[in-house]
Amino acid sequence: MKILVIGGGGREHAIAWRLSKDGGHEIYCAPGNAGTADIATNVPIGAEDIDDLVAWSQLARPDLVVVGPEAPLCLGVADRISALGIPVFGPSKEAARMEGSKSFSKEVMEAAGVPTAHAERHVKADEAIAALDRFTLPVVIKADGLAAGKGVIIAKTRAEAEDAIRSILDERQFGEAGASLLVETFLEGEEASILALVSGEGRIALLPPAQDHKRVFDNDEGPNTGGMGAYSPAPVVTDEVLDFAMERIFKPVVAELAKRGIEYRGVLYGGLMIGPAGINVLEFNCRFGDPETEAILPRIGGDFASLLLSCAKGELDPASLVILPQPCATVVMAAPGYPGKYPKGLPISGLDAAGAMADVTVFHAGTADKDGQTVTSGGRVLCVTALGSDLRDAVDKAYSGIRAISFEGAHYRKDIARRAFNR
């Protein structure tokens, strides 16, 4: 097949890498990165340059388009390319509102009877601040729209909550994503990610569960990031939790969307909180997670391209999903200063040495090629990933890969999968 993967991060490198494992495919990445250049043809079109992506697709006529990031999905890239008669793995603009609008997602969940935290939507800061009287601390403040994974603030004090509300609604810290916000009840417990391939009602397959690490420093300290590492499976997700997720979360949500005339095709990502209040949905995303994808896709067997194509066509057979038994872990190497301001263009060494290690794969998240040298170009630079005989083996192999790589100021968490080991 001729396949276009839209995006240029670690998730898209992992998708292209897994497609390349099938063999025989002609893979393109727009825009791709220094890592995808080794297994695909990079196309110099940005992931949000919808008109150019449509024009390229119309000319090149790929057999399948796989959309990585949420932004182009929320901008309607799947609708535009599907209109050309080209199968697209990724939901329509309307379906992508499950991530693009947290208030829409809450509305769907409540209509479907899906367990989730109580929330109120507000567009004015004074009204949102007054609403705090109806919540206990800590409280969660969420920008309603897309904020690159950084629009959620857990406020431990009233002052922190008020500051978060003003910064979102009045100062527009997250731009138009903060035109409205949700004030939401805080839930205690352990987070987990369950991603489902969805091909309309009755065609849902749950991918291996994963758990990521949002905080930048060990022991879950420091500010939230896009994710500093992940592992799969996640012991907190038992078979009973998976059954609950399918019957009480994914099936009702997909059915509720269908009631509204929305057929969901692509990945539906459920971020769950498992704790004293039971199993609740924190959020939905409309695409593969990052860095969860880097820990999940190495565990997928069979013909991956055919799996995605059948999903895009509304023909997914859930029984065709093959899950390999080996656990997988991925550790993010970040640029100095991330998740704040960080330099770019730092030379990276040791990539070949790490990639040559048994069971280790290095996914490029924020890299570029400069005069034949791979350099940093983002905050999350690399995802060093490994399969193992058990989770400890996978984690140890990933850290061995990390130690082989260096660039100035690189930092990473040293406690990936600690929750699993504590169990």
Q: What's residue 417's pLDDT?
A: 97
The percent helix, strand, coil of the chain (3-state, each to 5) is: 35, 30, 35
The band of 404, judged by pLDDT with boundaries at 50, 70 and 90, is very high
Is residue 380 over pLDDT 90? yes
Cis ω for the linkage preceding 209 (within 30 of 0): no
Find the mean pLDDT for residues 163-189: 95
Is residue 390 over pLDDT 80? yes
Cis ω for the linkage preceding 347 (within 30 of 0): no
CA distance 331 to 411: 10
CB 101 within 8 A of CB 145: yes
CA distance 285 to 120: 20
The string of pLDDT tens digits covering residues 265-301 is 999 999 999 999 999 999 999 999 999 999 999 999 9
The string of pLDDT tens digits covering residues 314-349 is 999 999 999 999 999 999 999 999 999 999 999 999
Find the mean pLDDT for residues 116-122: 96
Specify the pTM.
0.96
Q: What's residue 224's pLDDT?
A: 84
CA distance 81 to 25: 20
The string of pLDDT tens digits covering residues 4-26 is 999 999 999 999 999 999 999 99
Q: What is the mean pLDDT of the chain?
A: 96
The string of pLDDT tens digits covering residues 407-416 is 999 999 999 9
- For the chain, domains (ranges, CATH) are 2-92 (3.40.50.20), 124-179 (3.30.1490.20), 188-323 (3.30.470.20), 328-422 (3.90.600.10)
Q: At what angle do helices 102-112 and 251-259 cross, to 10 degrees?
A: 100
Specify which residues 185 forms β-bridges with. 139
Find the mean pLDDT for residues 243-263: 98
CA distance 417 to 217: 13
The band of 147, judged by pLDDT with boundaries at 50, 70 and 90, is confident
The residue count of the chain comes to: 423
The b-or-e profile of 277-290 (16+ CB within 10 A means b, else e) is eebbbbbbbbbbbb
Q: What's residue 347's pLDDT?
A: 98
The string of pLDDT tens digits covering residues 203-252 is 999 999 999 999 999 999 998 888 999 999 999 999 999 999 999 999 99
Is residue 78 over pLDDT 90? yes
Q: What's residue 150's pLDDT?
A: 76
Q: Which of 1, 39, 88 is nearest to 364 (CA)?
A: 39
Structure tokens at 417: 């999968």
CA distance 181 to 162: 12
